[in-house]
Each structure stands twice: as structure tokens, then as C-alpha cells.
Amino acid sequence: MSIEVSNIHKTFGHFQALRDVSLEIPSGELVALLGPSGSGKTTLLRIISGLEMPDSGTVRFNGVDTTDRHVRERQVGFVFQHYALFRHMTVFDNVSFGLRVKPRKVRPARAEIRDRVMGLLRLVQLEGLADRYPSQLSGGQRQRIALARALAVEPQILLLDEPFGALDARVRAELRRWLRRLHDEIHVTSVFVTHDQEEALELADRVVVMNEGRIEQAGSPEEVYEHPANPFILNFLGNVNLFRGRVHKGLARLGGMELSAPEHAAADDAPAVGYVRSHDIALERRPSDGASLEALIRDIHAVGPSVRVTVVLNGYGGAVEAELTRDVFETLALKKGDAVFVRPRNVRVFVEDYQI
Amino acid sequence: MTMTAHDVNRRGSVRDPKRDLTEPAPVRWLLTAVSLSFLGLFIVLPLAAVFSQALEKGTALYWEALREQDALDAIRLTLWTAAVSVPLNMIFGLAAAWAVTKFRFRGKNLLITLIDLPFSVSPVISGLIFVLLFGLQGWMGEWLDASGIRIIFAVPGIVLATVFVTFPFVARQLIPLMEAQGRDEEEAALVLGAGGLQTFLKVTLPNVRWALLYGVILCNARAMGEFGAVSVVSGHIRGATNTIPLHVEILYNEYNFTAAFAVASLLALLALVTLALKSFFEWKLREQLLRGNSEAHP
């Protein structure tokens, strides 16, 4: 089922949670709402579910206006951030709840409920735990039970609020892959909220980046990562270095380097910032061309698969962080205090009317 | 770890880290002795006195004092009052706690303060309020008199005063628990298609049942034992508007000590039963809170 959200506004007291948000989610997609806390992503999710009402704007499922339909009748599955399992019920009763509260006429027979629940517990790989209480489960198990409970009513749409937020890193990575496989299997339109860019980029078909109640950009993970629409997204999706300077008629002078910026051909000596991701900063012993900048190594952080090197640019004075692979790092044999040359690649120039 | 190592270096001997955190032995003994003697002096001794006085002249007289018509009437009225006011306050407490914890609205803090009002007002004043409202000289006195409705010096007045005095008990027990539990489970039930009543019966009520029973038992104890407010509105009419505490007072004022203590022993017994039930519910509640906490912080 497709979801169409148009011109949603929502305020809580004096806080404007959503400002004119419009979004289309095609049927069967797995979409991530990504943003820092307070960006309105959870509010948007709750408005789609019907747990929150928008001040204005509409929500449509498959083209049908559901804005005024009660949450009970929207047929959505919702997985809460802290799971919200019924603490006084067993796992079985939790998962079967949505079936047991159906009106008598449409309620499945007891045996059928049993089969459905057991099938779902198999799906989430927790068949043996039907008689346990939530307090007896680990965080990852509770998360999967919450998911099974949401799926029991065969929702047309699955909504997940920070589904992995409360789990430790290893369980989180595992559950993430598992959720992706599950989605590929059952193919229900799913929206999840996260503040973890890695999670969003790895898991989702489409990433919707939000900030201060607005959608900054929506697109495939590659699109959002490779072609960020503005500095906020660039900054949010990974470590970036800033080179300040000016741009004039398509030519940018930023912190000692000179490069062409054809998209700013109309700029007239405007202040600009060049953004370079730390893995797009190359370090070299000898300058390979005129664009290389002289620098001194201030710090080396060599833990994990890549090495982070902080250098200070001569003359310009700013610190730049470079992320190198171990191979490159070892070939260059870098030490603290060494003089090196910095060559930024993929510089994205934004005229400075948009501040982070 | 580093702390212990540090101590070893400085003092040359390993110290028990736990000992630093408790008081010296004489202080601990003193504190225990003070609290035990207080308990003995003000709780155990009077309780024992009630029963010994009641049974001083033999069990026959004890039973007689309880079977006397006025005593039976007082017991009946007390039970009747509790039977009306406890369910009323249970409903009110649930509604108030629900409103306070599950909704956002203006004047919420004022409502919480008002719920506590009967705790901060002297019971005698509580009784007087109703006399001022419904008494012959009161605001509605003339109209009530003309309509032939008797509230003051009658059973309705007693019930009203009791409801007023006991209404914080249930709400006070429920509000902190429901606050801690939040709205997540109710929302989960709604999303799963449950109606309002289903959500209340299957999710909210089971989650607060021990706190609710705890509040009800305290409410009941107070409803049966209330003296001040009831005394003001009752008029002490034997066989008609006397509750157990009022009956005890009358017997005592008539120097009928054995009977007074016999009837008082009923209230003492009620207190003991209340205490036992209260401990049980408290234990259940703590168990539930612990479980709830482990759920919130996995």
C-alpha cells in the first residue's frame, strides 16, 4: 500500500514539529526517516500511524484519504521505540492480542489464532519463547516479539520508531540485516525512523533526510550520499572538512586552493564553503599537481579498519581530517609532525547563504 | 579497584570498603533501639491494651457488647458507608489518575493539588463544609428541608463526608505508577485495533491492579475508621447515624469500658487485616515495578 503525505503541519505548544511536509512512499518500499533528534521524524511517523493528528495537511493510503480515520481502523503495524510489550502478558498473548480484540464476527477461531501466532514466532525465530513474559527476554528478543505482534494483524503498512535504538551495537547490526531479509520476504510498505545515518543508508530503499521539521532531501541511499542537496545533509551523512573562501563567476578560491565551480557561474564574489568528506582527502609525500596544499600532521588515530589523520594546513591554519585505508597509511609511513601534501577530491561548493 | 589499591599503599593494610559506608555499631544499635521502643510504646502496647481491656471481663461480655442492637446498627452503618464510598472513590481515583497521566491539558497541576486537599484539611473542617452546604442554616438547607431531603444528621451526610475524606487514597496510589508506565502500551493496543474499553480492561487495569487494590484497602480502612468528619455530620443518633467509631466514643463516655473496647477491637482487627493485605499488595507492586524497570532499561 502506498503512502502519500501532503502539506503536513504540526505544532506542540510553541514548538513547530513539522512544517509543510510532503512525501510519497510507493508500495512495498522500505523507507528510512533520518534526522537528528527534534527533526520531526517520529512525529511524522506517528501522524502516518494515526497516533497523532496533523494540524493541517492530509495522509493518504493508496490514494484514499485516511487523515480522519482512527488509528484503530488504519491497519498499520507499529513497533515502538521501547517495544511497549504488554508486560503482564506472555509472548503468546502479546502476539495474539491484535487478533483477540477483533469483533467476534471477524475474529479468527482459537486454533487459527494459535497457528498464526506460532507461524509468526517461527518467522521471528523465537518459537520456544511463547510462554515467557517480556521481562524474561533480552532486548533483541523483545524487539522481534514487538515486530511479530505488529505483523499479526497483517498490516498494510509497517511503521518502526527507532527500531534498533535501545540495542547494543552487535545485536543492532544483526537485527538490521534480519529486518532487511524479512522485508524482502513479506514486502509490506515499511517506514522506520532513525538518527543513525549508517543504519538508514544500509537498510533502506529510500532515505528521507529531515531537519527542523522539514524534509531536506529524499532519494535512494546512493543519491543522498553522492549528491547531497545541501550542506546539512553532507554534514549529517559523514565526516566533512570545511574550506572557506569565495566564489566568483564559476571559480572558487577556498583555503589556498583554486577550482572551478561551474554551478556557481552567476556568483559574484560570494562567500562560499567547500565541503570535502574525510575519505576524499588524499595525503601524499610529494605534491602531484598545483592543487596540493602543504600541511603538518598533528594527530594519528589508527584504530579500526581505517586510519584517521588530522593535519594542519600551512598558511590557512585550519585543521583537516583525512581518512586513509591501512594500506595507504602504511605505504606513506606517516608519523606525527611529518610534513605532507593534502589533495582534496570531490569538493562540493555551496555559496554561504545556507548555514549549518 | 584503584581505590583499594590506593588505600593499601597509604595505610599498608586492606580496608573493608563496605565498613566506610555504614554507621558505627553503637549508632546502629541506638537507632534500632529508638525505633523499636517507639513502636512498642505507641503501637504494640495500645493494641494489646485494646484487646486485654475488651476481654477483661470474659468472652461472654465481649460477645454481648458486639451483639447488642446499637452495636449491630453501628456495624451495619459502617459497612454500608464503606460499601458506597469505596467503589465511588475507586471509580473517581481511576478516572482522575487516567486523566492526569494519559492526557495533556491545562490545569493538570491544579487537579493534582485538589486531589490532595482532603489530606491537608482537618476532618472536622471537612465535616463542617457539608454542614454549611446542606445544614438547615446552610446554602441549600431551606430548599432541602422543603423538599424533605435529609442529608445532615442522616446517612447521606455520613456517606458524603466519608467520600470526601477518603477520595485521595486510590488516585494517589495510581498516579505515580501510571506516570511511570507511560502511554506506550495503551497506544500499542489502539494500533492493534483494540477499542477504548478493551484497552482499559486488558491493558491498563491489569497493569495497575496491585496499586489499585492497595489504594482500595487504604481507602476502606479510612472509610470505616473515620471519626472527625463523620462526627460533625452524624448527630450521634443511636441506631440510626452511629458508625463504629462514634459508637465507641458513646460507650466510652458512658464509662462502659468493656463494651467500648470490645467494639474498638473490631476496628483494631480491621487495622491488622488491612496491614496484612497492604503488605501483600505492596510486595506485589514492588515486584511489578522491578519488572517494569527492567523492561524500560534492558
Q: pLDDT per residue over A108-145, tens digit each?
A: 999 999 999 999 999 888 989 999 999 899 988 999 99
Half-sphere exposure of B244 (CA within 13 A, CB side): 27
- Chain B residue with minimum CA distance to A48: B191
**Confidence label for A355 from pLDDT (cuts 50, 70 and 90):** very low
What is the mean pLDDT of the segment spanning B59-64? 88
Beta strand spans in chain B (E)? none
CA–CA separation, B57 vs B51, rounded Å? 11
Q: What is residue B23's predicted lDDT score, i.e. its pLDDT?
A: 79
Q: Which of A11, A101, A136 to mutate to test the interface with B (most CBs of B within 10 A)?
A: A101
Give the separation between CA A166 and CA B296, rounded to whole angstroms: 10
pLDDT tens-digit profile of B238-287?
888 899 999 999 999 999 888 899 999 999 998 889 889 888 888 887 87
* pLDDT of amino acid B181: 87
Consecutive H or E run containing A223: helix A221-226
Nearest CB to B298; choose among A73, A76, A139: A139
Cβ-proximal residues to A96 (8 Å cutoff; 6+ apart), any chain:
A113, A114, A116, A117, A152
Could you give the CA distance from residue B121 to residue A77 in angstroms, rounded to a whole number? 49
Residue A103 has which C-alpha cell?
469483533
Q: What is the CA radius of gyration of chain A?
A: 25
Pairing of strands A306-313, A319-325: antiparallel
Percent share of chain B, pLDDT over 90: 42
CB contact under 8 A, A49 and B190: no
Identify the pLDDT of residue B298. Answer: 36
Q: What is the pLDDT of residues A278-313, one digit of tens each?
A: 888 888 888 877 667 888 899 999 888 889 999 988
Residue A146: pLDDT over 90: yes
**CA distance, residue A151 to nearest chain B CA (Å):** 10
With CB atoms and an 8 Å threshold, state whether A87 touches B203.
no
Contact A98 B193 (CB under 8 A): yes
Question: Are residues B191 and A86, on separate chains, in Cβ contact within 8 Å?
Answer: no
Chain B residues inside the 8 Å CB shell of A83? 295
Quickly list DSSP for A235-290.
HHTS-EEEEEEEEETTEEEETTEEEE-GGGTT--SEEEEEEEEGGGEEEESS--ST
Question: Do B198 and A102 lie within an 8 Å CB cutoff?
Answer: no
Residues 6+ apart with CB under 8 A from B173: B93, B211, B212, B214, B215, B218
> Which has the closest alpha carbon to B76: B184, B205, B235, B238?
B238
Q: Which residues of A touch B202 (CB under 8 A)?
A: 86, 97, 101
Q: What percent of chain A has pLDDT over 70?
A: 98
Of the candidates B187, B195, B198, the beta carbon closest to that of A84 is on B187
pLDDT in tens, A217-251: 999 999 999 899 988 998 888 888 888 888 888 88
pLDDT tens-digit map of B188-228: 999 999 988 999 999 999 989 888 998 999 999 999 999 99
Percent of chain B with pLDDT over 70: 90
The model's pTM is: 0.78
Closest Cα partner for B271 from B37, B43, B33, B55?
B43
Residue pair A17/A26 in contact (Cβ under 8 Å)? The answer is no
A137 close to A91: Cβ distance less than 8 angstroms: yes
Please write the tens of the pLDDT for every residue from B141-176.
Answer: 888 888 888 888 889 999 999 999 998 999 999 999
* pLDDT of A356 above 60: no
Does the pLDDT value for residue B297 go beyond 80? Answer: no
Residue A286: per-residue pLDDT:
84
Chain B residue with minimum CA distance to A154: B192
Q: Which of B1-5, B7-11, B88-92, B271-275 has the highest mean pLDDT?
A: B88-92
Name the interface residues of A facing B (CB cutoff 8 Å): 49-51, 71-73, 76-78, 80, 82-88, 97-98, 101-102, 133-135, 138-139, 142, 149-150, 152-153, 166
pLDDT, average across residues A199-213: 93
Q: CA A251, CA A258: separation in Å to the nearest integer? A: 7
Average pLDDT, chain A: 89
- Please report which confidence band the pLDDT of residue A101 belongs to, taking 50, 70 and 90 as the band edges: very high
Predicted local distance difference test score (pLDDT) of residue B106 = 85
List chain B residues with CB under 8 Å of A49.
191
